[in-house]
Amino acid sequence: MCYNAISVLDQHRSMISVIPVASPVSLPLSNSAQTFPVQNVYCVGRNYADHAIEMGHDPNRESPFFFMKPAYAVLPDGGEMKYPPLSSDVHHEVELVVALGKGGTNISVAEAADYVFGYGVGLDLTRRDLQAEAKRQSRPWEAGKVFLHSAPCSKIVPKEGDLLEAGNIQLFVNGDQRQQGNINQMIWKIPEIIATLSTLFPLQAGDLIYTGTPSGVGPIAPGDNLLALVENVGALNVSIVDEFSSL
């Protein structure tokens, strides 16, 4: 079902805002001067069996699940990410990103491809120490997952033809390969992710979905240069700078 999730707000658009209206975070497209404005950022947890196992979970017993990041987490290709405060164990997670071209609820698996605008290469950067503490205390994950520029994303590549089902996904730190997988290893495929998300949340045009990471996650540090690759999608470069940088 396609609909305008926030049409109730339209009646207020002509009124004068009491504070400046923030312009949306936008990502460039790979093939034109147009941009892709980001609305919400959804992430899938434990969507590759080998990563679920390395984090101490049994992928045969637990289904993937969702969490969110704010739009300010998005950092375009070539950006610098300031190492976030209150952590000494920030990890990389390379992920295929799905960009939605229209919104809806209760989208069927069969219809899901129609909602995909394109793809990106993303990083779900994580304060692993704060996430581990949240898990221990059965608390929400925001402190681990949400910080400025915790969700870098490449240029968006428009979808052509059928949905992407396979392709190498890799992460290099300072030229050394740290993560390697194939998106055909995802437990929930793209249509299942969109269908399931849309039963829980009102999906909108401009939403990004980070689809989970293969194994090999590990720490990054100021001075590191990250290169994330997804076959047939593209590349993402991110530099990590010191927490006290003036960025």
- Give the footprint of Mn ion on this chain (CB under 5 A): 93, 124, 213
Closer residue to Mn ion (CB): 179 or 198: 179
CA torsion, ordered 30, 33, 39, 40, to nearest 10 deg:
20
Compute the distance between CA of residue 201 and CA of residue 219 in angstroms, rounded to an integer.
Answer: 32
Cβ-in-10-Å burial (0-12, 13-18, 19+) of 236 comes to buried
Q: How far, rounded to the nearest angstrom, does the alpha carbon of residue 205 sit from its chain's CA centroid?
A: 15
Q: Could you tell me the smallest distance in angstroms from the CB atom of residue 31 to Mn ion?
A: 27
Give the bridge partners for 236, in sequence order: 228
Looking at beta carbons, which residue is closest to Mn ion? 124
Cα–Cα nearest to 180, from 228, 224, 233? 228
Closest to Mn ion by CB, 131 vs 213, is 213
Smallest gap from residue 43 Cβ to Mn ion (A): 5
Question: Which CB sits closer to Mn ion, 93 or 207?
Answer: 93
Q: Which is nearer to Mn ion, 91 or 155 (CB)?
A: 91
Provide the minimum distance between the beta carbon of 44 and Mn ion in the complex, in angstroms, as a whole number. Answer: 7
β-strand partners of 169: 181, 230
Gyration radius (Cα) of the chain, Å: 18
Give the shortest CB-134-to-Mn ion separation in angstroms: 14
- Considering the complex, state which of residue 131 and residue 198 has its C-beta at the smaller distance from Mn ion: 131
Tell me how far, at minimum, the Cβ of 1 lies from Mn ion, in Å: 28
Distance (Å, whole) CA 209 – CA 190: 9
* CB neighbour list of residue 32: distance below 8 Å, 6 or more residues apart: none
Minimum CB distance to Mn ion smaller for 97 or for 205: 97
Nearest approach in angstroms of CB 105 to Mn ion is 24
**Assigned token pair, 102:** 């229209």
